[in-house]
Structure 1
Amino acid sequence: MILVCGEALIDLFVGAPSPTGLQANAVAGGSPFNVAIGIGRLGRSSAFLSTLSDDAFGTFLTAKLVAAGVSTSYVQACSKRTTLSVVATNTAGQPQYSFYAEESADRALTPEALPSHLPSDVRAIAAGSYSLGVEPIASAIETLIRREAGTRVISLDPNVRPRVVGDLAAYRERFERLLTQATIIKASDEDIELLYPSKDIVILAKDWLRSGPELVIVTRGARGPLAVFKDSTIERPSPSIDVVDTVGAGDTFHAALLAWFDAKSQLTPEAIDALTQEDVTAALDFASTAAAIVCTRRGANPPSWEEVMHFQAESS
């Protein structure tokens, strides 16, 4: 099982006004939430660790997890409201974002509320995004990772959200502390530009590798992913597609990467340390394909294992 920790929220897309009011479409979101859904869609065992509201939105999010086959046994009910990320169009036709998250449910997890132990079938812990930068959940996740590092794969995706975490310097400090406990780092070139402006990607990836992880992967959109491990650097192309929407692509890549290693019985610290160039190449290609499929759809709608295999077969 892969235990995914972090936020779940509602993206509320507000449409044009009508005589009776504003139309809106509520969509499930949150980077770790998307990762958990993505792993479940790929047929691998996953669970979600977070606090979800007992309001209508929280009930909706829980139902989405269940529908994707994600275990909710680590989800804790919370009376606080669900975070809302509101997207509307201003008079100039540009998207305008508002974030309603103070004192919300998805940041309420405390270190004291963590499960006292994890069963042996939890092979990996994945975390990232703004839940690493807001309290008390940031401290809870750091406590869990420090407790479990070395016995399970720890996979981190910073997926930086500056509007939410605010202090990027503080966020970077926590990420660098967690970096020393991680097995896998998956970051985007955009994350690196935000946290380490003008820093060369390969040099930074190698610096991270020396800090503790066994595998560092940087996604670069249409340029494809780059992986650094041991003394190797691998670059792989992204599949050629007609892009509809890039929402959820990075989360799907992370989910597919972990799902691939899990399916190949490589999701242990020892196996990640022993990965070959062929192993990493296959994992990158699978994860890139899954992310590409999401980009051909509207919204974060991750594929099944069969869809990825079919896409790869058709592409070859």
Structure 2
Amino acid sequence: MIRVLGLGDNVVDKYIDSKIMYPGGNALNFAVYANMIGIKASYLGIFGDDEAGSHVYQTTKALGITVDHCRYDKGENGYAKVTLEDGDRVFVGSNKGGVSAKHPMVLSDVDLAYISEFDIVHTSCFSYIEKELGKLRKFGKFISMDFSNRYTREYLQACCQHIDCASISCSDMKDHDIIQLMKDMMAYGCKEMVIATRGSRGALVCVGDTFYEQSPCLIEATDTMGAGDSFITAFLTGYISDMKHGVNFRKESGDKGITNIEDYRDLVIKANLYRAAIFSSKVCTCNGAFGFGKRYKE
């Protein structure tokens, strides 16, 4: 079984209409969703010492996700303010990362040795980890970074050279523009793939020079919070796990059935895109990114 690490941001999503906050954040969501799928998952990030930070920390521990290497700083945990419009989450404000932004993580030698144990390390543009990407590249087996819809060309060029997989959210873009951007990101140095989520239009994935399209599993959503994160998590964990298993099986058994690794990769990608669409749709039936709501006061 593979092991994965969510590295960077955690927040609470404060739903201003119901006055309920839910744990979330791109890097933490990755660890939680991997855990839901049955993958051994850990999280490394910074918690604030307020009620929000305590709620996220306690929830993460209760889910069985390892948090042994996390930091705890005095100040506000990251939060985002959210409303729902017909089940679609809409962000209306934030404290821009809270303690994670005020005290960006600096990876120690102990952290890097720990990171080297994982098959996937996933981070994001909300994690304030950009200055550490060079270090991360030297120790991470497979590095994934989600840029959401917060990027410039210069930012992508600076980051993509250090990562294996880049993800972007681009539901408002036309497909031909998305495809060109994905090609550019590969040219910027992204080692293996780019994932583009397009909301109700599904996803596009570029692996090398090959593009794949996955339609969504359409449902009546309770809350679309985490839809893209869950899709990316399910696809990446399935892809890396299946590729590792297939290559190892061939080496150990001498099996000649897998005669062409590219054909095998193609099947793995298609199967896991389908699984990811189904998993993402299920996530949209719960409140918040993965539930565990708690009332808050302003």
| TM-score (normalizing by structure 1) | 0.74
CA distance in 2, matches of 1:148, 1:299: 33
What is the Cα deviation at residue 117 of structure 1?
Answer: 2.0
Match of 1:106 in 2: 100
- Please give the root-mean-square deviation of Cα atoms over the aligned residues, in Å: 3.2
Are 1:260 and 2:255 counterparts?
Answer: no
Are 1:139 and 2:131 counterparts?
Answer: yes
Q: 1:299 to 1:119 in 2, by over 3 A?
A: closer
Are 1:205 and 2:182 counterparts?
Answer: yes
Match of 2:255 in 1: none
1:178 to 134, 140, 159: 159
What is the Cα deviation at residue 10 of structure 1?
Answer: 1.7
Determine which structure has greater relative contact order: mean sequence separation of CA pairs < 8 Å that are 6+ residues apart, divided by chain length.
Answer: 2
- Residue 266 of structure 1 aligns to a residue whose secondary structure is helix
Match of 2:16 in 1: 14
Are 1:221 and 2:199 counterparts?
Answer: yes
CA distance in 1, matches of 2:125, 2:106: 18
What is the Cα deviation at residue 228 of structure 1?
Answer: 1.7
Q: Structure 1 stretches of 5 or more lacking a match?
A: 16-22, 90-94, 162-167, 303-316
1:246 to 210, 224, 229: 224
Q: 1:174 to 1:117 in 2, by over 3 A?
A: farther
CA distance in 2, matches of 1:55, 1:301: 21
What is the Cα deviation at residue 180 of structure 1?
Answer: 1.5
Amino acid paired to 1:225: A
Q: Would you say the 8 A contact 1:183–1:213 is kept in 2?
A: yes
Match of 1:50 in 2: 45
Q: Would you say the 8 A contact 1:153–1:269 is kept in 2?
A: no
Match of 2:215 in 1: 237
Match of 1:148 in 2: 139
Amino acid paired to 1:82: N
Amino acid paired to 1:4: G
- Spell out, residue by residue over 1:114-153, the C-alpha distance to the aligned partner (whole angstroms, 9 max, x if none): 624236531121111322xx4xx4423x24433335xx01
CA distance in 2, matches of 1:219, 1:60: 29
Match of 2:22 in 1: 27
Q: Structure 2 stretches of 5 or more lacking a match?
A: 85-89, 249-260, 292-298
- Spell out, residue by residue over 1:181-208, the C-alpha distance to the aligned partner (whole angstroms, 9 max, x if none): 2212222224x85xxx997112222232
CA distance in 2, matches of 1:198, 1:222: 13
Stretch of structure 1 that moved more, 241-250 or 106-115: 106-115
Q: Would you say the 8 A contact 2:227–2:283 is kept in 1?
A: yes
What is the Cα deviation at residue 38 of structure 1?
Answer: 0.8
Task: Give the number of aligned pairs.
Answer: 269
Amino acid paired to 1:283: N
Q: 1:267 to 1:200 in 2, by over 3 A?
A: farther
- Residue 237 of structure 2 aligns to a residue whose secondary structure is helix
CA distance in 1, matches of 2:4, 2:72: 21
CA distance in 2, matches of 1:112, 1:217: 26
Q: Would you say the 8 A contact 1:41–1:69 is kept in 2?
A: no
- Residue 130 of structure 1 aligns to a residue whose secondary structure is coil
Identical-pair percentage: 22
Q: Would you say the 8 A contact 2:34–2:41 is kept in 1?
A: yes
Q: 1:112 to 1:44 in 2, by over 3 A?
A: closer
Q: 1:205 to 1:53 in 2, by over 3 A?
A: same
